[in-house]
Amino acid sequence: MKIAYFDCFSGISGDMILGALADLGNDFSFIKKELKKLDLKGYSLSHKKVKRGVIETTRVDVKVTEKSSSKRNLKSIISIIKNSGLAEKIKNDSIKIFRRLAEAEATVHGTTINKIHFHEVGAIDSIVDIVGSVIGIHHLNISKIVSSSINIGSGFVKCDHGTLPVPAPAVVEILRGVPCFSSGTRQELTTPTGAAVIATLANEFGSLPELKTDRVGYGAGGKNLKEMPNALRIILGELSIANELKKEIFVLETNIDDMNPEFYDVVMEKLFQAGAVDVFLTPIIMKKNRPATKLSVLTQQQNVEMLANEVLKNTTSFGIRFYPVERVMLEREFQEIETVLGKVKVKIGKRDGEVCHISPEYEHCKKISREQGIPIKKVYEEIQSAICKIFKV
């Protein structure tokens, strides 16, 4: 599996992403050719090698060559992207990024996404940065993106809205649930555009996973900083299936002895909606022999705070403990098989390519039971029989 690790030690911006992708050996002429499918006029795109500190990096520049209104709303940007000749996956990812920007701006300004005019992030250079970054990522056939914590900078920045604190309010909104830090550098290191790209496309945030490094690319920021190289580093490599199936996950737990048990149905539903991988209840005995229930939630690191808030809001708990654990999973795939009951979806678990477990999908079995009036026990028996014949197990 090809993985890209975004090392945001000096923040992230649209031009830094494009520069790092070009530095990885991406065919820059291909990106420029694909961007022409947007039918966007009035700009030129170039790249060159520059030094950031002692590191050689690639700097990408978008120059606006024709005067035009810099204010665009979400609808007009979506129209530009949808009416282009780009691949559907590139269109969809680009639109997701702009929606995230619109939602953040709407929250900051207390309005709706339909009334937001993007100012800087709706200008030509930002459209090129975002769509160009998506094109570059897809051109490298990257299957997964992991990002480090993001250096957001500090101080103040001037923009269309006046002087704003760093990180800019839109950046704070976009990076909700994303691990961030400030090294004390009094510069804007992370822009709304860069924040939106990584927050939308990253599959997870954390330290560099174990991988075979293939290439490393450095994309230059606009300024040369004294404190650190102002660059984004992208490490491209291969992640083995074994390593991919061995993942760190977080467990959130709380003991509850004073809540109506009927409430757990709603609590579990809200936790799954908020991104829980699994939720389960365990009967326990607390001090003074009080019967209680331990609520356990499994989740990825970036969802810990959000899920903790859901537990505290929707239960009688006064506190939550959480800790990381590692889990090893089977490779999973789904397949439809033909049975006497019709086509049925089954889940296949493999380890190093060898089939270890095959089971019917419960929801599919329940649907057959309900529609055909057959006891679910009988449905399982028929499907298991078909599995044995088809897979010789």
72-131 per-position pLDDT tens digit? 788 889 999 999 999 999 999 999 999 999 999 889 888 888 777 665 545 788 899 999
Bond preceding residue 167 cis, omega within 30 of 0: yes
pLDDT beyond 80 at 160: no
285-324 per-position pLDDT tens digit? 999 899 999 999 999 888 899 999 999 999 999 999 999 9
In the numeric block, which tokens belong to residue 381?
């028996």
CA nearest to 179, candidates 205, 141, 160, 144: 205
- Bin 243: left if φ > 0, else alpha if -120 < ψ < 50, else beta: alpha
Amino acid at 177: G
Q: Which has the minimum average pLDDT: 156-165, 227-236, 264-273?
A: 156-165
Helix ranges, 57-191 (H) = 74-82, 88-109, 124-139, 169-174
- Give CA 60 to chain center in angstroms: 25
Tally of CB atoms within 10 A around 375: 9
DSSP letter string over 347-365?
Answer: EEEEETTEEEEEEE-HHHH
176-216 per-position pLDDT tens digit? 989 999 998 999 999 999 999 999 999 889 999 888 999 99
Domains and CATH numbers, the chain: 2-239 (no CATH), 246-328 (3.30.70.1380), 331-391 (3.10.20.300)
- pLDDT grade for 71, boundaries at 50, 70 and 90: low
pLDDT beyond 70 at 345: yes
